[in-house]
Structure 1
Amino acid sequence: MYAQIVVDVPTQQTNHSFDYLIPSDLTPVIQPGMRVAVPFGRSQRLVQGFVVGISATSKFSGKLKPIDHLIDLRPVLNAELLQLSYWLAQQTFSFWISCMQTMLPSVMRAKYQKAVIALDKNLQKQDLFQGQIMKILDNQLSTQMQKQLSLWQKNGLVEIKYLVKNQAKQLEQWFIQRQSYDYSTLLSQIKPQAKKQRQLLQLFIDNPKLKSISLKELLNKYHFTAATINAIVKKGWLAKNKQVVWRQPASQPVEATTDLKLTLLQQAAYQKITQAKDQVVLLEGVTGSGKTEVYLQSIKYFLQKNKTALMLVPEIALTPQMVAQVQGRFGKLVAVLHSGLSAGERYDEWRRIETGQATVVVGARSAVFAPLKNLGIIIIDEEHEASYKQEDNPRYHARDVALWRGQYHHCPVILGSATPSLESRARGQKKVYQLVKLSQRVNQHPLPQVDIVDLRNQDNLTAQPDLSKPLVSALQQCLKQQEQAILLLNRRGFASYLMCRECGYVPQCPHCDISLTVHLQEHYLMCHYCGYKEPIMKICPHCSSAKLRFSGTGTQKVEQQLQAILPTARIIRMDNDTTSRKNAHSQLLKQFETAGDILLGTQMIAKGLDFPNVTLVGVINADTGLITNDFRASERTFQLLTQVSGRAGRAQKEGRVYIQTYNPQHYAIQLAARQDYEHFYQQEMRFRHQAGYPPYFYLIKVTISHRSQAQAFKMAYNIAKQIKPVLTSSEQLLGPTQPTVARVKNRYYYQ
Structure 2
Amino acid sequence: MKFANIIVDISLEKLDRTFQYRIPEELQGVLKEGMQVRVPFGNGGRTLTGYVLELTDTCQWDEGKLKPILGLAEKGIRLEGQLIALAAWMRRTYGSTMNQALKTVLPVKKSVQEKISRKVRLAVSREEAEAALAEMERKHQTARARILKALLDQAGQDRQSGQGELDYGTAQKELGLTAATARKLTELGLIRMESDTIFRNPIRPSEVQAHPFTLYPAQQAIVDDVVARTAAGDLRPALIHGVTGSGKTEVYMELIAAVLEQGKEAIVLIPEIALTFQTVLRFYRRFGDQVSIIHSKLSAGERYDQFERARRGEVKVMIGPRSALFTPFSHLGIIVIDEEHEGSYKSENAPRYHAREAAIERARICGAYVVLGSATPSVDSYERSREGIYQLYELPFRVENRAMPGTEVVDLREELRMGNRSIFSARLKELMEDRLGKGQQIMLFLNRRGYAGFVSCRACGHVIKCPHCDVSLSLHGGGRMVCHYCGYQTRAAKKCPSCGSAYIGAFRAGTQQVAEAAAKAFPGARILRMDFDTTRQKGGHERILEAFSKKQADILVGTQMIVKGHDFPGVTLVGVLAADLSLYAGDYRSAERTFQLLVQAAGRAGRGTTPGTAVIQTYSPDHYSIVAAAAQDYKAFFEQEMNFRRMMNYPPAAHLMALYLMSGDEEALNEGAGRLKELAMSHTRPEIQLIGPSDPGLSKLKDIYRKVLYLKCTEMAYLTEWKEWMEAELPGEKLLSTFNIQFDMDPVNPF
Task: Give the TM-score normalised by the residue count of structure 1.
Answer: 0.79
Verify: 1:614 aligned to 2:571, yes or no: yes
Number of aligned residues: 654
Contact 1:8 1:97 in 2 (8 A): no
Pick aligned residue for 1:267 from 196, 209, 220: 220
Q: 1:99 aligns with which of 87, 97, 101?
A: 101
Task: Please list the CA deviations of residues 461-509 of structure 1 after superposition, one character each: whole Å capped at 9, or x if unmatched.
Answer: 7876322222122222222222211111111111112234565543311
Question: Comparing 437-446 with 318-327, which one deviates more in the overlay?
Answer: 318-327
Q: 1:289 aligns with which of 246, 252, 271?
A: 246
Match of 1:31 in 2: 49
Correspondence list, 1:236-385, <5 A: 242-258=195-211, 260-277=213-230, 278-385=235-342
In structure 2, do the counterparts of structure 1 residues 716 and 15 end up closer, same or farther at CA, with 3 Å as the change threshold? farther
More divergent stretch after superposition (413-422 vs 737-746): 737-746
Deviations 1:500-520 (A, max 9, x none): 456554331111111111122
CA contact (8 A) 1:197 1:229 kept: no
Structure 2: distance between partners of 1:547 and 1:214: 71
Distance in 2, matches of 1:244 and 1:694, equals 49
**Alpha-carbon distance in 1 for matches of 2:608, 2:178:** 54
Please give the alpha-carbon distance, in whole angstroms, between the structure 2 residues aligned to 1:185 and 1:704: 74
1:174 Cα deviation after fit: 3.8
Question: Equivalent residue for 2:156?
Answer: 205
Partner of residue 574, structure 1: 530
- Give the Cα–Cα distance (whole angstroms) in 1 for the partners of residues 165 and 695 of structure 2: 62
Q: Deviations over 1:293-318 (max 9, x none)?
A: 00001100011011111111111111
Distance across 1 between alignment mates of 2:128 and 2:548: 50
Superposition map of 1:506-517 within 5 A: 506-517=463-474
**Structure 2 counterpart of 1:638, one-letter code:** F
Q: How far off is 1:545 after superposition?
A: 5.8
The residue type paired with residue 266 of structure 1 is Q
Q: Structure 2: how far apart are the matches of 1:423 and 1:352?
A: 35
Whole-angstrom distance in 2 between the partners of 1:201 and 1:566:
65
CA contact (8 A) 2:481 2:492 kept: yes
Q: Among 565, 568, 586, which residue is 2:521 paired with? A: 565
Does the 8 A contact of 2:122 with 2:151 survive in 1? no
Q: Please name the residue that 2:114 is paired with.
A: 170
Shift of 1:280: 1.1
Aligned-residue Cα RMSD (Å) equals 3.7
Q: Do the aligned partners of residues 61 and 173 (structure 1) sit closer, same or farther apart at CA in structure 2, a change above 3 Å counting?
A: same
| Residue of structure 2 equivalent to 1:693 | 650
1:526 counterpart = 2:482:
yes
Q: 1:321 to 1:692 in 2, by over 3 A?
A: same
Indicate if the aligned counterparts of 2:20 and 2:66 stay in contact, CA closer than 8 A.
no
CA separation in 1, counterparts of 2:596 and 2:240?
Answer: 15
Percentage identity across aligned positions? Answer: 37
* Residues 510-561 of structure 1, C-alpha deviations (whole Å, 9 max, x = no match): 111111111225x432212222222334455556665542222211211111
* Counterpart Cα distance in 1 of 2:159 and 2:692: 76
**Contact 1:197–1:232, Cα closer than 8 Å, also in 2:** no
- Displacement, 1:89? 1.0
Which residue of structure 1 aligns with residue 695 of structure 2?
738
Give the 5 Å matches for 1:61-80.
61=63, 78-80=80-82
Q: How has the CA–CA distance of structure 1 residues 735 and 543 changed in structure 2, closer, same or farther, with 3 Å as cutoff?
A: closer
Change (3 A) 1:408 1:227: same
Amino acid across the alignment from 2:649: G
Q: What is the alpha-carbon distance in structure 1 between the residues aligned to residue 457 and residue 120 of structure 2?
A: 67
After superposition, the C-alpha distances for 1:41-79 in whole angstroms (9 at most, x for unaligned) are xxxxxxxxx9889xxx997457789xxxxxxxxx99612
Task: Report what 1:22 is aligned to.
Answer: 41
Taking a change above 3 Å as real, the CA distance of residues 557 and 428 of structure 1, as seen in their structure-2 partners, is same
Q: 1:212 to 1:625 in 2, by over 3 A?
A: farther
Gaps of 5+ in 2: 22-38, 68-76, 138-144, 709-751
Change (3 A) 1:98 1:3: closer
Q: CA deviation at 1:709?
A: 2.4
Q: What displacement does 1:266 show?
A: 0.5
Residues 1:303 and 1:465: Cα distance change in structure 2 (over 3 Å): same
State the 1:720 CA deviation. Answer: 2.5
Distance 2:589 2:680 in 1: 25
Following superposition, the deviation at residue 666 of structure 1 comes to 1.1
Offset of residue 80 of structure 1: 0.8
Structure 2 letter corresponding to 1:175: K
2:521 maps to a residue whose letter is I
Q: Rate the CA distance shift 1:417–1:214 in 2: closer, same or farther, 3 A.
A: farther
* 1:593-742 to 2 correspondences below 5 Å: 593-594=549-550, 595-724=552-681, 726-742=683-699
Alpha-carbon distance in structure 2 between the residues aligned to 1:682 and 1:540: 47
Say which of 539, 542, 551 aligns to 1:583: 539
Cα contact 1:183–1:205 (8 A) shared by 2: no
Structure 1 residue 213: Cα displacement = 6.9
Letter in 2 for 1:271: D
Larger mean CA deviation between 234-243 and 297-306 belongs to: 234-243
Matched-pair contact (CA < 8 Å) for 1:3–1:52: yes
Alpha-carbon spacing, 1:172–1:297, altered in 2? closer, same or farther (3 Å):
same
Contact 2:118–2:193 (CA under 8 A) maintained in structure 1:
yes
1-side partners of 2:311 and 2:287: how far apart?
18
SS in 1 for 2:360: helix
Query: Structure 2 matches for 1:468-507, cutoff 5 A?
Result: 468-501=425-458, 504-507=461-464
Is the aligned partner of 1:750 residue 2:707?
A: yes
CA change 1:400–1:17 in 2 (3 A) is farther
CA distance in 1, matches of 2:265, 2:296: 22
Aligned partners of 2:53 and 2:88 also within 8 Å: no
Distance 1:229 1:635, change over 3 A: same
Match of 1:133 in 2: none
Higher mean alpha-carbon deviation, 676-685 vs 493-502, is at 493-502
For residues 230 and 697 of structure 1, the distance between their equivalents in structure 2, rounded to whole angstroms, comes to: 69
Corresponding residue of 2:365: 408
Distance 1:459 1:541 in 2: 30
Give secondary structure in 2 for the equivalent of 1:456: helix
Contact 2:528 2:556 in 1 (8 A): yes
Q: Deviations over 1:289-341 (max 9, x none)?
A: 10000000110001101111111111111122111111211122222111121
CA distance 1:311–1:250, change in 2 (3 Å): closer
Separation (CA, whole Å) in 1 of partners of 2:384 and 2:7: 39
Q: What one-letter code is carried by the residue in structure 2 that aligns with 1:205?
A: G
Partner of 1:84: 86
Helix, strand or coil at the partner of 2:533: coil
Q: Partners in 2 of 1:464 and 1:747 — Cα distance?
A: 40
Q: Which amino acid aligns with 2:512?
A: Q
CA contact (8 A) 1:175 1:212 kept: no
CA distance in 2, matches of 1:226, 1:539: 68
Amino acid at match of 2:536: S
Matched residue type, 1:481: K
Counterpart of 2:6?
Answer: 4
Q: Which stretch has the larger CA shift, 672-681 or 503-512? A: 503-512
Change (3 A) 1:684 1:438: same
For 1:528, give the aligned amino acid. Answer: H
CA gap of 1:349–1:27, structure 2 versus 1, over 3 A, is: farther
